[in-house]
Amino acid sequence: MFRGIRALHTSAASLAEKKVSLSFRKEAKGFVRRSKGPGNHKNFINVSSTTLLKKSESQLPDLKPQTLTKNVVTNFPNDSVKALHHLGSFRKGQFNEAFPRPVSLVRDVTIRLEQILKKALTTDSTNTRIAIVGESGVGKTTTLAQFQSMAKSHKAIVFAINNADNFVDGSSDFGPSALDTAEYRQPMVTRKLIKKFFKANKDELNIPLTEDIKFATVKSFGERKGKQQDLAFKAKENTLFDVLNHAVHYRGDLSHCLHFTFAQLSASNVPVFLTVDNFTAFTQNPITAYRNTKNNRIYFDRFEIPSLILSYIRGDAKFNKGGVIVSSSGKHKSNDTLSVALGDKIYEPYAKFGDFDPKFAATLQSLEKFEVPSLNKEEVGSLLQYYLDQGIIHNEKTDEINFESYRDNKFFYSSGNPRELLRSCTLNYY
Amino acid sequence: MSRTFASIRRFSTVMRLLQQRPPAAAQRQGRSQNPNTIPELEVKRIIPALPTFYSSNPLHDQNVQDLTKALRKHVSFPYDLSRNATVKWFNFEQYKQVAGGSRLKVIQHQELLKLLNRLSAIDPQLQNDDLVALLNKFKVAESAQNSRLEVPQLDANGRAIAVGRRKASSAKVYLVRGEGHVMINNSPLVSYLPRSSDRLKVTYPLKVTDSEGKYNVFVKVRGGGLSGQAGAISLGISRALVIHNPLLKSRLYKAGCMTRDHRVVERKKPGKVKARKSPTWVKR
């Protein structure tokens, strides 16, 4: 006969059997995980770039726009190197771990860029739209990093996109966009960009807002009940710092936040530089790896961020002070699109779309060509002297070498290519 | 009856012809003075100048015949083949001009050289004038011998031009005094040869002679793959360095830079899958 449910007392609980330990929980049985010895699950490039960092002090001068001297190896200044790390200006294959801090050589191109920067600090971005080109390994990314460092020294805001491949190779998620400017959005990439931008430019983001912005509260599945509480940032009361500080922790879509940020930066008087590295990802893959509902591949300017970049390149949108700098990449196969746009090649009317994108080339015609040449002998000598002083050359007996003939040998072998020069000094070949 | 008539008629024709021609005319033209010969028939008879006229290469065969005859005459004389070390005979191209032109084959020239070397190896004190004259016909004159060694020179722009080959690749190298710039098929060294091993091959001859920063190199290369092209360029640079400074030859030889690498792809043989690989052996 049913009498009702008896309450469960603690005394009853103490009489209950112990919970059975699950067999796969070896630690619960007292099993101690044995160390598997030295080594890492990461591949070599990841290990070398993160764990083999040299710890000694660096005696080099800092890269400062006011005191640039040709053929001198300089450090990136402490106040900007952290920001550059956040922006992704230092790559994994650049052997930066061989030095206490990332270094670069001051060349003619550095001095020219410094002059361009000075001019851009007082004029709007339509006057400074540059494409950095050159052969593979010649130092385009490093030159761009030098520009970003000098811009940070002038307290400018730098919005850096360090790898345009992320927008076209299909590695990110994508979905329909709620904005008028584009058809598709890429939430993961947008979130990462906003985070990096915020971390790198915290000190310069105290810009009062000129418009309001609202963030709709995003509730998890269990929290769906209750009143929606949106968070609003008001014009003149809050700053861009407040907005982005909230955005980096916001779990919802950030497309509207990104566009809002750009709108605020365009309206402010703080110098803003938009830099895009590996820009030739757009020329090599204008038709991205993403597919629409009809299973057709999507052209890259249908996405929010690429269309935003193109609007600044075209001049449809502009910063009151600042510029747009894009850099090509040697890893992308050479294409006629950028060459024709910059005036290096003649337009071929019968070229295939894979070789020449006429619509994109017309947009790129507003860019000014900035070529980075190979190193000359003096520059090779300066770098070699630094490498010898740092003791990073282990594949030769450095005590017995004649410096001039060694320099000539390296110049001949590398043809003045900085990447090949550094590789020939640090790597052993058989 | 008709046969008798034909023979009488022939005889009368002959008699008439004999009476018409004076014997002195025949003598002046060097014909036989035999009164029974018919001068007109003598005029129309063409005799070849050489007994080897009907062979495929009469001039060469005549030379061989003369030399073989001389050898048969002097076969028992003592000879020493080392005497031929300093003798320069006509090379193939030079002999071609006097012995049949396009009819002459390389093996015929080699046959001639064999005979000449054998004859000139005879003790000089036992060589008579006829033999010496016969041999001298095929010797290169001493002044001409020196001019045969054409030493390559720098051109009007101060460039040394040399060709190097490896496997299926051929490289024409222009080496000129400079600072150490390299262009291969209008591309820099690093972009044309991305592999470091290939670049080391190209720089090795200059490293051996400590002249990396002293010359500019311009190369036109084609054929084969990148590695073969690098080997061809290396040989070309070595040869061009020797043109600039012949004293570097021994150093480059010792470093192995002057040796043409004769290894080529081995041909496929019948019954094999590739040059050496055999098809899978099947027991039954």
What kind of architecture, by CATH, is found in domain B159-255?
2-Layer Sandwich (3.30)
CB contact under 8 A, A408 and B197: no
* Domain ranges across chain B: 58-137, 159-255
Which one of A135, A407, A413 has the shortest CB-CB distance to B199? Answer: A413
**A413 to B191: CB separation less than 8 angstroms, yes or no:** no
CB spacing of A420 vs B191 below 8 angstroms: no
**Can you read off the two tokens belonging to residue B193?**
């040869």
Hey, are the CB atoms on A415 and B190 less than 8 Å from each other?
yes
3-state secondary structure A269-312: CCCEEEEECCCHHHHHCCEEEEECCCCCEEEHHHEHHHHHHHHH
- From A318, A328, A232, select the one nearest A276 (Cα to Cα): A328
Identify from B190, B198, B217, B234 which residue to disrupt to test chain A contact, counting A C-beta atoms within 10 A and taking the largest count: B190
| Per-residue pLDDT in tens (0 to 9) along chain A, 430 residues | 444 444 444 444 445 555 555 555 566 666 666 666 666 677 777 777 766 666 666 688 888 888 888 899 998 988 888 899 999 999 888 888 888 888 999 999 999 999 999 999 999 999 999 999 999 999 999 999 999 999 999 999 999 999 999 999 999 999 999 888 788 999 999 999 999 999 999 999 999 999 999 888 876 666 666 555 678 888 888 999 999 999 998 888 899 999 999 999 999 999 999 999 999 999 998 999 999 999 999 999 999 999 999 999 999 999 999 999 999 998 888 788 999 999 998 988 898 888 899 999 999 999 999 999 999 999 999 999 999 888 888 777 777 788 898 999 999 999 999 999 999 988 876 4
- Give residue limits of the domains in chain A: 56-371, 377-426
Left if phi > 0, otherwise alpha if psi is -120 to 50, otherwise beta: which for A224? Answer: alpha
CA distance B86 to B88: 6
Q: Which long-range contacts (CB under 8 A, 24 or more apart) does A91-96 make?
A: A91/A141, A92/A45, A92/A46, A92/A48, A92/A49, A93/A45, A94/A141, A94/A142, A94/A419, A95/A422, A95/A423, A95/A426, A96/A49
B5: part of which helix (H) or strand (E)?
helix B2-20
Contact between B190 and A137 using a beta-carbon 8 Å cutoff: yes
Q: What is the ipTM of this complex?
A: 0.77
Q: What is the pTM of this model?
A: 0.74
Q: Closest Cα partner for A367 from A165, A23, A160, A129?
A: A129
| Closest to B138 (Cα-Cα) out of B106, B80, B96 | B96
Q: Which is nearest to A323 in space by CA: A160, A200, A170?
A: A160
Give DSSP secondary structure letters for B70-132. Answer: HHHHTTTS-B-GGGGGG--B--HHHHHHHTTGGG--HHHHHHHHHHHHHHHTB-GGG--HHHH
Q: Best interface-test mutation with A: which of B196, B214, B234 has the largest number of A CBs within 10 A?
A: B196
Q: Which of B182, B196, B197 has the CB atom closest to A412's CB atom? A: B182
Q: Indicate the DSSP class of residue B218.
A: E
